[in-house]
Structure 1
Amino acid sequence: MSQTKPITKAAIVGCNWGMVHLAALQQSGLELSALVDVDLPRAQSLAQQLNIAHACQSLTQVPEVDLVIIATPAISHMQVIEHFSQQAIICEKPLLGLSANQLPANWPKRLWVNYAFNQLESAQLINRLIQPTQGPVRVQLSSQVNLPLKFNLEQWFLETASHPLSWLLHLLGEPRQLSKQTNEQELKLELACGEHRINIDFTLGGAAGIYHQVRVQQGSQQLQLQGHYIPGQAWRFMPVLLNDEPQNQGEYHESDCWLLANQRSTSLIIKHLQGQLSEAELLAQGGFNPTKALWLEQSLLGEKFNSAS
């Protein structure tokens, strides 16, 4: 295995979404020993509730740890990654976002990016039904978002539509942008992944929440997956349809199937870092190293990023 250095203590940088990873850390037997957040009282309050030894506002105040989870805005990722370059790192997506042109000479050797959509049971089901080596696949991805955060159109794309797109790229391979059209509320992309094609229609506005619809066609097979998040409710995915016939009962859990997928994603990365899973095995199961993670920025920005990983 590629990495057998003991991983026993972790820190979370960014205490909003970052706390989603707590369950995976606990299930993997790691001690969460530090929380870092620009909102120091929030970090201190969480640390007190969860009996975490350190809470701080500065990266320089983090005690010695083996693993750092980065859940800060994408524009800050490079700074945090560079600071903890000697530690193992799990970074939330997007890796660099719209600042992807600022690549380092070399990435830390133990850096992984959390794209969790492939860990949904619905995605795994479709993975078993589609065989990309057996002929061209055609995909239509439609996503809509209406949430009260201050992102522009392309930032919203990388924050939301990148989830199902990451799964599709994992399934079909490295993308090449064929066309891109934008206005204030809508983004259209056409991507080629070898002989496969992905057409994306991303829209701001509409009903509150996040809505995804994926239509996949290969030969005579037509598959469909729809899912949505409504503020105050858990994610819900409708039954996967194969030629209009349900293949499951949908995917929903009171504790949120999306959070469970993230826990599975984080746990797989930790297994690799602990030497229980090779790099090739992690990549095959949906892991994203820096090179693969930048496929998402590549899809949007139309550049091929030559990234050492």
Structure 2
Amino acid sequence: MKAGVIGTNWGRVHVQGLRKAGCEVTAMMAHDADLVARIAAEEDIPRHGTELAVLQDCDVVAIATPTASHLGYLQALQDKIILCEKPLGLTPDNLPQFQALNAERSYISFPFPFLDSARQLQQLINGGDFGELMRITVVTGVNLPYPKTPVEWFMEDMIHPFSLLTHLFGDMTFLGACQGTGCNISAQLQCHHALVDLLLCPWPHPGLHFDITLIGSKNAYQLRGGFRPDRQWWMEPLMIDDIAQGTGEEAKDAIWIRANHRVANTLIKLQKGEISSQQAQELGLFPLQRALAMEQSLLPLWQALSQYDQRPTLAGNMVWQTT
């Protein structure tokens, strides 16, 4: 299968992932002509350009661009097999346009369920070790060097662990939310009669922090990890009843890139008929409609927080340089 990539930053991760999945990456598109020419040469991609026409002969297209651009590309590329970066970028205003998309061959990349730690959780829950879901609490700490509105911070960064929760337990119902200063947000949802607390806050250290607590009738699990610019992504050992299980996932193993590559591999296996749609979803692949339903469950957040200050703000008190 021939593949193309839109985006020269995280797009390079998709170039690697699609090649590992057996695709021939033949085209790259971006808005900066000089940059896309340089990156395409470095990645040995034969065609490049600033217009969608460069992707004409591609069977698969990966969209690795800022969230606000996702809808436009999804609309323009409905004749392709699409792997789009998360989140969709759903808002109350653009919901009808997302619902009108041809969703048959569009998929959204949510790597969190593809982490080894997430798979460990899934095996335990499916094996009956967890019991009935009683309560979920998630703390997501953010300290990243660009401004977003508080709701945008929530939708773009809480979506990481929320995709895992949706994968493990299914759909959730929004109950309410409140906001403190900046991106201090607390939202509560319900899943299978269990309460789900999602807490977003500025973090004192640059990067991302995730702390997920799952309480069941038979056991309690806690999973922590995140991203730091100096050590990349890592996950601590899964805690079961406050006892560490295993060694976790170390940054040296490039666990986030590995999880992203697993998403691409699952999609290509599905398209080649090597696995079924059900098997792909059990592995963690999100078809467009599944991703849309998940983000739609958070859509009431916009109205719930409309009374609070939604001016763009930095999440955290530091600005740091990325390389």
C-alpha contact (below 8 Å) 1:234/1:255 kept by paired residues = no
1:78 alignment partner in structure 2: 71
C-alpha contact (below 8 Å) 2:4/2:60 kept by paired residues = yes
C-alpha contact (below 8 Å) 1:130/1:218 kept by paired residues = no
- 2-side partners of 1:241 and 1:194: how far apart? 23
SS of 2:196's equivalent in the other structure is strand
- 2-side partners of 1:106 and 1:147: how far apart? 32
C-alpha contact (below 8 Å) 2:141/2:208 kept by paired residues = yes
Over aligned residue pairs, what C-alpha RMSD do you find? 1.8
TM-score, normalised to structure 1, is 0.90
2:289 alignment partner in structure 1: 291
C-alpha contact (below 8 Å) 2:90/2:296 kept by paired residues = no
In the superposition, relative to structure 1, how do residues 294 and 37 fare at CA in structure 2: closer, same or farther (>3 Å)? same
Counterpart residue identity of residue 44, structure 1: A
- 2-side partners of 1:282 and 1:82: how far apart? 24
- Alignment pair present for 1:269 and 2:267: yes
Counterpart residue identity of residue 197, structure 1: L
TM-score, normalised to structure 2, is 0.86
2:17 alignment partner in structure 1: 24
Instruction: Select which of 51, 54, 65 maps to 2:47.
Output: 54
- Alignment pair present for 1:152 and 2:149: yes
Could you tell me how far 1:42 is from its partner in structure 2?
A: 1.5
Counterpart residue identity of residue 204, structure 2: G
In the superposition, relative to structure 1, how do residues 158 and 18 fare at CA in structure 2: closer, same or farther (>3 Å)? farther
- 2-side partners of 1:255 and 1:63: how far apart? 35
Percent same amino acid among aligned pairs? 29
Gaps of 5+ in 2: 302-323
Could you tell me how far 1:135 is from its partner in structure 2?
A: 1.9
2:223 alignment partner in structure 1: 225
Counterpart residue identity of residue 235, structure 2: F
C-alpha contact (below 8 Å) 2:21/2:264 kept by paired residues = no
Instruction: Select which of 96, 114, 118 maps to 2:113.
Output: 118
Instruction: Select which of 164, 182, 203 maps to 1:167.
Output: 164
C-alpha contact (below 8 Å) 2:138/2:197 kept by paired residues = yes
C-alpha contact (below 8 Å) 1:12/1:35 kept by paired residues = yes
- 2-side partners of 1:134 and 1:228: how far apart? 27
- 1-side partners of 2:5 and 2:213: how far apart? 36
Could you tell me how far 1:71 is from its partner in structure 2?
A: 1.1
Deviations 1:274-300 (A, max 9, x none): 111111111121111122112442232
Moved over 4 A (4+): 131-134
2:309 alignment partner in structure 1: none
Could you tell me how far 1:16 is from its partner in structure 2?
A: 1.1
SS of 1:275's equivalent in the other structure is coil
1:68 alignment partner in structure 2: 61
In the superposition, relative to structure 1, how do residues 161 and 91 fare at CA in structure 2: closer, same or farther (>3 Å)? same
Could you tell me how far 1:97 is from its partner in structure 2?
A: 3.2
2:311 alignment partner in structure 1: none
- 2-side partners of 1:253 and 1:281: how far apart? 28
- Greater shift in the superposed pair: 241-250 or 193-202: 193-202
1:91 alignment partner in structure 2: 84
Counterpart residue identity of residue 60, structure 2: L
Matches within 5 A, 1:159-308: 159-183=156-180, 184-302=182-300
SS of 2:84's equivalent in the other structure is strand
1:140 alignment partner in structure 2: 137
